[in-house]
Structure 1
Amino acid sequence: MAESAEHAFLSDAVLQILEDASKSRLYAYKEADRKRFDFACDLATNWKRAVSGQTLWKHSEGVDKDIRMLLSEAESDALVYVARTTMKNKSVLHEAISDYKKTELSDRLDRLRVFWVPEDFDADSESHRSLVYSELRHSISRDLLLSVVLGGITEQDVASFATWSGMCGLSLAVLAQIEASGFGSYTQLRRQMGVGVTPVKERIIRLSLTGFIAPSLDPRKSGPIYEVSPKGYALMDLCGRLVAERDKGGYVDSGLKHVCSLLGIDARRVDLWPFLPDYDPSIDGPGLHIRRDTSSRLAKEIIGAIATWGVSLPDPRYEIPSLDIS
């Protein structure tokens, strides 16, 4: 049976949204050929993510089959279901999920992301297409892009990180040091950073509480050994991209601008381009406005990490040729 125009539009829209956001270079995108599904793609950052999805438009009786097919896909990290909003569809989906909670597939339900589309959507209407695409872009960006692809980083995470008090740039420098050589002990990290143990310990506690680092039990050593989490890598990649774009005066590439907006960052206020040899990031000198917003504070943290602590923030350039998960 030929698919409807609405079905085709919605399937293509999901892939287009993820491809457009990949222009941020915070992850790589490649459409996949998993023939059982209506759409599929592979995504890569420091790890790989496979996305598979189904679209439901006309036939409510297909809900159970679609959910079973998605949950049976063991290789996919995100299972996307785009469905028409009707009471019958929602009821059937609720029953299907309740049933699968009692089966061996229950542990895969947390991979499922459901996105509802108004039942009167008409793909022949330009205004309908524009509105539905915009709503899908908003929900997919938050519930899939940030939550799955970028490790679960949130606007609150970035705001918290940017507003920590103390030595400017130390938080990002500690995160970069853990990424480079791991974390063995406060004493070791203190020596690597060249500061007292108290500020280092404070940063470790804060990074741990916000999920930018996570404990990894190493059987060769006693106690928890911290490593950078997916969320932490996403933060460092974001900072690296902002540094790479500093000569654009805040008018950054569309994909990066979109991700920044999701995280409460106005790229035009991330004043990274005027690096000065005698600039002291710990103070606000003449001509530098004292700002309290997340964007400016994040810029100050990045500049401090580079100028004071010698942190290198490479521009991430992820690729997918080696991924073969279709």
Structure 2
Amino acid sequence: MTESAEHAFLSDAVLKILEDASKSRLYAYKEADRKRFDFACDLATNWKRAVSGQTLWKHSEGIDKDIRMLLSEAESDALVYVARTTMKNKAVLHEAISDYKRAGLTDRLDRLRVFWVPEDFDADSESHRSLVFSELQNSLSRDLLLAVVLGGITKQDIASFATWSGMSGLSLAVLAQVEASGFGNYTQFGKQMGVGVAPVKERIIRLSLTGFIAPSPDPRKSGTIYEVSPKGYALMDLCGRLAAERGKGGDVDSGLRHVCSLLGIDPRRVDLWPFLPDYGTSFDESGTTVRPGRDISSRLAKEINDALARWGVSLPDPHYEIPSLDIS
């Protein structure tokens, strides 16, 4: 059966959105063999995520088959379903999902992400294409890119991390030290950091509560009580990318700029490093001076800079590659 222009546009749009965002270098992208699915790709950070998806446009009777085919795919970490918004389509989808819940297979639904597209979308209209692409980019970025690929990191996480009180740079330094050597106890860790037990304990607790570090599943085998979580790795990668881009006045690539916008970060303000005369001064969109050093981006800049300069942290400038094994 020949697919409609709308069907083709939506499938291609998902892949383009994920490929464009990969220019941030926070993950690697590779389109996979579609086989049974309308679109598929592999995404890699410190771990590998396979994404498979289906698009529904014309035939409501295909929803049940699509959902069952997606949920039977064992090797994909994320299952994306892009569908036309109609009451009938939503009712059929609801029934298919309810069947899985009644069968005690709720855990399979955790991988499923559904994205609805207005039913009057016309792929021949440039304005329609632009609007749908923008809306799809926004929802995919938050519900798939941040929530799955980048470990669930959020704008609130960044705001919290950047504004912790105490010694600047220590939070990022502690996170990097956990990644490098693990965590045994506060006294030992404090000696490794060259700082007292109290500030180290405070940072470990905060990093744990915000999910940047997580309890090791097997401390005896790993030799560490805590390990860096996927969210924590995403944070370190982001800080590493921003550190590598300093001196460019915030003129970063489109992928990194997009991820920063999702997380409430302005790369221009992050680039106001202490050795520059205007560090600590931030500006609104019109260029007017606002409260110095109080916005999230400037605070994050100071955290990164002090982690590098004061604590000797070596931040990664990530360049991920897709493993040779194709699991699509």
The match for 1:131 is 131
Tell me if structure 2 keeps the 8 A contact 1:48–1:323.
Answer: no
Summarize the Cα distance change of 1:199–1:270 in structure 2 as closer, same or farther, 3 Å threshold. Answer: same
Shift of the alpha carbon at 1:188?
Answer: 1.3
Structure 1: distance between partners of 2:174 and 2:208: 12
How many angstroms does 1:103 deviate by?
A: 2.6
Deviation at 1:322, TM superposition (A): 2.2
Q: Aligned letter for 1:106? A: T
1:37 partner SS: coil
Equivalents in 1 of 2:77, 2:209: separation in Å?
25
Decide which of 299, 303, 316 is 1:297's aligned counterpart: 299
Residue 291 (structure 1) shift = 1.8
In structure 2, the residue matched to 1:141 is 141
2:325 to 298, 317, 323: 323
* Structure 1 stretches of 4+ moved >6 Å: 221-224
Superposed displacement of residue 107, structure 1: 1.4
Unpaired stretches in structure 2, ≥5 consecutive residues: 282-291
Match of 1:259 in 2: 259
What letter is aligned with 1:71? L
2:7 and 2:59 mapped to 1: Cα distance? Answer: 11
| Partner SS, residue 76 of structure 1 | coil
Alpha carbons 2:247, 2:271 under 8 Å: kept: no
* d(CA) in 1 for partners of 2:72, 2:220: 37
> What is the rounded CA distance, in whole Å, between the counterparts of 1:260 and 1:61 in structure 2?
40
CA distance in 1, matches of 2:248, 2:127: 33
Alignment partners' CA distance in 1, 2:47 and 2:215 = 18
**Alpha-carbon distance change, 196 to 86 in structure 1, aligned in 2, over 3 angstroms:** same
Q: For the residues of structure 1 that align with 2:320 and 2:67, how far apart are their CA atoms?
A: 31
Within the alignment, does 1:15 sit opposite 2:5 as a pair?
no
Q: Distance in 1 between matches of 2:210 and 2:132?
A: 34
1:219 Cα deviation from its structure 2 partner: 5.0
TM superposition shift of 1:321: 4.0
Q: Residue 217 of structure 1 contacts residue 223 of structure 1 at CA under 8 Å; is this kept in 2?
A: no
Which residue of the partner structure matches residue 96 of structure 1?
A: 96
1:260-279 equivalent positions in 2, closer than 5 A: 260-271=260-271, 274=273, 276=275
Shift in Å at residue 104 of structure 1? 5.5
Contact 1:72 1:105 (8 Å CA) reproduced: no
Deviations 1:40-90 (A, max 9, x none): 000000000000000000000000000000000000000000000000000
1:113 is matched with 113
In 2: Cα distance, 1:234 partner to 1:26 partner: 7
Compared with structure 1, are the counterparts of its residues 268 and 65 closer, same or farther at alpha carbon in structure 2 (3 Å cutoff)? same
Instruction: Output the amino acid matched with 2:316.
Output: P
Q: Is 1:45 matched up with 2:33? A: no
The residue number in structure 1 matching 2:287 is: none
SS at match of 1:134: helix
Cα deviations by residue, 1:299-321 (Å, 9 ceiling, x for unpaired): 00000100100001121000014
Q: 2:84 maps to which residue?
A: 84
Letter in 2 for 1:9: F
Task: Tell which deviates more after alignment, 104-113 or 65-74.
Answer: 104-113
Is the partner of 2:255 in helix, strand or coil?
helix
Q: Does 1:56 align with 2:50?
A: no
| Structure-2 separation of matches of 1:287 and 1:187 | 35
Paired with 2:138 and 2:88, the residues of 1 have a C-alpha distance of: 25
Give the whole-Å Cα distance in 1 for the aligned partners of 2:32 and 2:85.
Answer: 27
- 1:309 matched to 2:295: no
The one-letter code matched in structure 2 to 1:261 is S
Aligned partners of 2:183 and 2:224 also within 8 Å: no
* Root mean square deviation of aligned Cα: 1.7
Paired amino acid for 1:238: L
For residues 143 and 286 of structure 1, do their structure 2 counterparts lie closer, same or farther at Cα, with a shift above 3 Å needed? closer
